[in-house]
Amino acid sequence: MSLIRFVRVKLRRCAFAAAATLALVGAATADEPLREVRDPHYGDTLFHFFQDHYFTALTTLMVSQHFDLVTHHADEAEVLRGGLLLSYGLQREAGAIFEKLITQGASPAVRDRAWYYLAKIAYQRGYLDQASDAIARIQGALPQPLQEDRVLLQANVLMARADYSGAARLLEGVDEKATAARFARFNLGVALIKAGDAVRGTDVLNKLGQTGAEDEELRSLRDRANVALGFAALSEKQPLAARAFLERVRLKGLQANKALLGLGWSSAALNEPRQALVPWTELAQRSSSDSAALEAQIALPYAWAEMGEFGQALERYQWAIHAFELEDVALDESITAIRSGTLVDSLIARNPGEEMGWFWNLHELPAVPHPDHLLTVMAQHEFQEALKNYRDLRFLARNLDAWREKLSIFSDMLATRRKAYAERLPRVRAQVNQTAIATLSQRRDRVATEVAQGVEASDPATFADARQLDLLQRVASAQATLAGPDPELVQYRERLRLATGALTWQLAQDYPQRIWSAQKELQTMDAQLLQAQQRDAALARAQRDEPARFDAFEHRIAALDPLLQSMTANVSALAKEQQEAVQNLAVAELRQQKERLAAYSAQARFAVAQLYDRASGKPEAPHAVAP
């Protein structure tokens, strides 16, 4: 298992709070129905979340909550926000969210998840009593990704309180088919041994140490169990048992160096120095950045001396001293490179990411003179936390720079909008003004009066159309023409009477529909007049208020610029401090390596002095001292 793989595994373990947030967004398990997203804005948040854009998801969610756009998922949205904040290390803010959800009487499922996160926060802060109390308040079963971690969390709390028996009883109930079963078995073995039941604890770890493993993570866990058993046996003066345990460890795993070192010491404890040469020779050829490999450099000549091969022992001690001197120089070069900023810049450049977040993984080692010196420190939780904080600060700095650039765009947009209002609004108001609206209103009133009079008089002629009005005029004219006493006009008057009757009948037939149409048109006219009045009023308000709004926007933009400048300066200062913190962690680790080198070098020089004393015939010096 490569270091990068190991670092990624550690990152997943340390960032479990963010990973477990998947269970908060309504993802269905095998026994639960699919859940509907009823608020589009909540769906937009989930889209960004599942795209691994956690900063965008968080900010989008907070904006949607501000405008009350996720009402159907209010509690779930709060739990999601709390989980995201927790994943960024904002424990106080996340804790306040979860406590608020509990106080407001959220649903049992939401309350249980809130208590779980409060327990996790309390445990991370070292508040064991609060963590234990929060776990006890979880009433139901959590979603599967959280339920397994809940058991491990509770066991960790019990072990931290030295209640190893209680932790063992809890871990014994973990289903062997669960995802975290083997990790639970490892913790169970440790808990049993610390509880005084060394036989059962050793048996649990022994079974785990012989179990098949289908992936690298589980194979590494199996190696850890065997190494723990091996060194425990060495401490109990049981070298044969230690050898049996340590021989199970893979030569290419993360625990290989420790296993080779312990295997050599088990042979030495059995007075078999020649057997010890085999693992120590292999270990001495490995990277000197590992403390076990450094110890092998002086353990190897110790074995030669135990065999009576003093010349070979002297040569190996001198070679070890020379190797320690070269390694010390290399460590100084690495420290210089780290102090210059090469480490963090190279790590960020070689491991890019779109956004800040806890799922960012290291895929490439930094371009420093001796990257193998940093393997140990890069696998440490503290270093990973510091590096992620530094990366997040850089992301925030880029965001602030982008927002400052947008301020100039907003200023241009505001100027364009102000100009458009100044030029277009007077023309629009000139086209639609109160005089024109009043004239139209008067015309509407006249029409309404005519309609009302026609309805009251039941006069169909009032609602006649243009053709029928023309016919009525022609009938009236014809009646006037045929009104004379001439007998020859009688037949024409009769025909006119029939035509008049037909026209009257037609008007009577159309009368109900014409009334309905006239009244409907009046309603349409009223609506249009009201709309025109409202638009004119809105234009009047805009003409009065918009300049003030433009001024307010201008003041906000002007106020944001110094605020962003101040925030940029603060973030830049914090980023510089955080970079120094990251570099200090790396340098501290390298200085510890230098101290180990100095100690091993002193032991090697002392052993060389003993060998020279023996060769010069001086009084018998004490036998070679085991490093």
Higher-confidence position of 247 and 34: 247
**Rounded average pLDDT over 44-51:** 88
Q: How far is CA 202 from CA 185, 194, 224, 549, in A?
A: 11, 11, 13, 75
* pLDDT value for 574: 92
pLDDT higher than threshold 90 for residue 147: no
Of 106, 166, 95, 88, nearest in space to 132 by CA:
166
- Residue 105's region, left for phi above 0, alpha for psi from -120 to 50, else beta, is left
Question: CA 349, 385, 396, 565 torsion: positive or negative?
Answer: negative
* pLDDT value for 277: 92
Dist CA 618 CA 610 (whole Å): 10
- Range in 174-188, 245-259, 584-598, 610-624 the model is least confident about: 610-624
Higher-confidence position of 95 and 57: 57
What is the percent of the chain with per-residue pLDDT over 90, rounded to a whole number?
15
Dist CA 168 CA 194 (whole Å): 10
pLDDT higher than threshold 90 for residue 201: no
pTM higher than the cut 0.75: no
- Range in 209-213, 274-278, 409-413 the model is least confident about: 209-213
Where are the domains positioned within the chain?
Answer: 1-161
pLDDT higher than threshold 70 for residue 618: no
Dist CA 222 CA 328 (whole Å): 34
**How much is the mean pLDDT over the chain?**
80
Q: How far is CA 354 from CA 53, 54, 154, 374, 563, in A?
A: 8, 10, 35, 25, 25
Reported as a single tens digit per residue, the pLDDT across 382-411 is 787 788 888 888 888 888 888 888 888 988
Dist CA 159 CA 533 (whole Å): 76
Dist CA 576 CA 412 (whole Å): 34
* pLDDT value for 261: 93
* pLDDT value for 11: 31
- At 353, the pLDDT band (50, 70, 90 cuts) reads low
- At 363, the pLDDT band (50, 70, 90 cuts) reads low
Reported as a single tens digit per residue, the pLDDT across 68-92 is 999 888 888 888 898 788 777 677 7
pLDDT higher than threshold 50 for residue 18: no
**Fold for the domain defined by 1-161:** 1.25.40
* pLDDT value for 360: 56
* pLDDT value for 460: 75
What is the percent of the chain with per-residue pLDDT over 70, rounded to a whole number?
87
- At 23, the pLDDT band (50, 70, 90 cuts) reads very low
Higher-confidence position of 344 and 568: 568
* pLDDT value for 355: 58
